[in-house]
Structure 1
Amino acid sequence: MKATLLFLKKDQERRLLAGHCWVYSNEVDTERSPLKGLEPGAPVELFARGGRWLGHAYVNPNSLICARLVSRDRARPLSPALLLARLHQALALRERLYEHPFYRLVHGESDGLPGLVVDRYGELLVVQLTTAGMERARAEVLAALEQVTRPKHLLLRNDSPVRALEGLEQQVEWVLGDDPGEIHLRESGLEFLIDPVHGQKTGWFFDQADNRAALKRFGARARVLDVFCYLGAWGLTAAAVGAEQVSFIDSSGDALARVGASAERNGLAERVGALLQGDAFDALRQVRDTGERFNCVILDPPAFIKRRKDIRDGELAYQRLHRLGMELLAPDGLLVASSCSHHLSREAFHRGLQQAARAAGRELQLLHDGGQGPDHPIHPAITETAYLKTAFLRVL
């Protein structure tokens, strides 16, 4: 299919020339190249106002991000050949970094494939197509993944809320093989059972693996509290590296049951304290009011800021959470605080931690300032790809 020509307004190509790959609808010269009527996901060629060719992209006239650039080589539009090349490139990085095939294989824009996320669990691939362009190329994407990795099972987890922004339906579908049931995943010497169909995201959060491993250096404290614990990866890692007792808080009873099962499986059951189900803020206040204190508190919540307009409310929510965590710490305690909100800058994250410390009457020392693992590479021109902040803080 021949690509439509899409022209930008004057000077709107600067961000693309700097390496970014998004085009916003208000940057398009709609008199010269109307967006209305273009089919979501259709290929386009991007041009600056003066006629300079910028790249191959796909379009969605119904989205604020109306086009995403996929190639800066005029001879290489989005095609099976380009998909294969990008997937081989992504796989080569992960195979250099990881001994076993458990990692994020494709991380969207950072791997040159905007709208595509692939997590690998051995012989299972869990795929998310989050944009109209990748949905349109679904058959080619799946064929390329099969050719490059030869999986036995391939699951489409197209149930992400971001699909709604692209006008796409949500669904979960096996497209290769049948449901293998729970997946055995090993991280830092521990084994966890992962449910790729019903679990959060694709079943696991690979992006925190390196930060969890840092607990061996910073987090071998006597009493630990893991909040928003999900499957207990943080807390059980703390137990494995020396914590005497670890308590867990999560809103999901099923998640807490899996924490207990994983503790048994890894010989750590005697180190598990309370398993508290409920709203994290309420649970933290209840624990605080009992006078119980911990040597390490781990706070790894879901994103509090999903849209730019939510930044102020989200910053206040993080500050309340961090203050509660600090109030539960014994003197010279360790706070591990995370944010996966890409709208929250690292600077603002640190500032909020400091403000929470002052409100709690505490002093902070930042010991380790972590981000996502290298299987979630950062695109230097796209700040949104540097979304994860994980701070290890000594609280005095």
Structure 2
Amino acid sequence: MKTYISPWPQAAKLPDFPRSVAVLGATGSIGVNALKVMARHPELFTVMALAGGRNGTLLAEQCARLRPRYAAVLDDAARRELEAGLPAGYSPQILVGPDAFTTLAALDEVDTVLSSIVGAAGFEPTLAAARAGKLICLANKESLVLGGHIIRAACHASGAVILPVDSEHNALFQGLMGLESDDEIARLILTASGGPFRGRDAASLAGVTRKQALAHPNWSMGAKISIDSATLMNKGLEVIEACHLYGLPVGMVHVVVHPQSIIHSLVEYVDGSQLAHLGMPDMQVPIAHCLGFPRRLGVDVPRLDLARVGCLTFEEPDLAAFPCLGLARDAYDAGPSHPVVLNAANEVAVAAFLDGRMGFADIPATIEAALDRHRPVDVSTPEAVLDLDRAVRDEIRRALWPDAD
């Protein structure tokens, strides 16, 4: 069937166990949880490479425990932290800089790549893994938002398989397994918690603080993803990701607000029935599903007790108060270059909000203005995608940080 970005996993050649894993974003919440999953099943996984951004201290602790052959950080300061924390007698090969992540993603010694870098920085490493034919456990939705068409082509050329780590897309993936044809699908339904400001109107959001926006009610996430959840941009990016993963038009991907975050997403079939994936909100579950696929691995998470939960509720998203979701849908419909602009403008706006340079309501306004200025351009190559991404960021940064070097 044609609904997957990669060959139908049950027909594709998956790496044998034990799998040799590179974790890109090892010091973030997804990476930390992935290491917990693999530690529970040491007979199934060998950690070959860890990449940890700028947190050299935590990466050193992880390396000391797991002894990977390779480690990567973004700058020399993190490298010094990493080297200082390594035990005597252990010297992994250390790579430095953004290109290091791309190198680790394509290592011959690695068959499985967990791509959990935040933001557009994940595009090139994910593409490198796709070109190298890896099993990719994808937790970086921006890779597909920027260049899903490019990564799809790379997967089909190399035989790479992408399994979605995002809890929503992992739920959809499980709900789609076993179908014979796209014609059996009526629509995909992504669930959204609604974030910390669910139920508030647009006027009341103007004065929200950084601390309030970071306080997600159900999930423990990094700052950028937490703000995206608060604006509903996270759900907008997930709509675009679903379109690329499953080859469906944006009109077949819907969003419903589900505050309890127990149902992670639903697939509706042409007979009107729906299949939901339920579980406690813990990222170890979808991570384990991807790392162990097609095996289902045990994880140490609380069990769902529906009687204790008591009530599951649902509501339509408020697009007037949270316009980012609508902006994302419109951007995907407008053509392949518009999502690049959407994502670049969002990342800069979120950084500006976290830096105190703009208000919460200015985030969607900044994104909308960037999309209004944009005229479609060719983004059929990775270089074109990255050039456009850079140009949009530079334009917005000059306006927000005129005093910057």
Task: Provide TM-score, normalisation by structure 2.
Answer: 0.28
> RCO greater where, 1 or 2, for CA within 8 Å and sep 6 or more?
2
User: Of the two, which has the highest radius of gyration?
Assistant: 1
Structure with higher strand content: 1
Task: Provide TM-score, normalisation by structure 1.
Answer: 0.28
Structure with higher helix content: 2
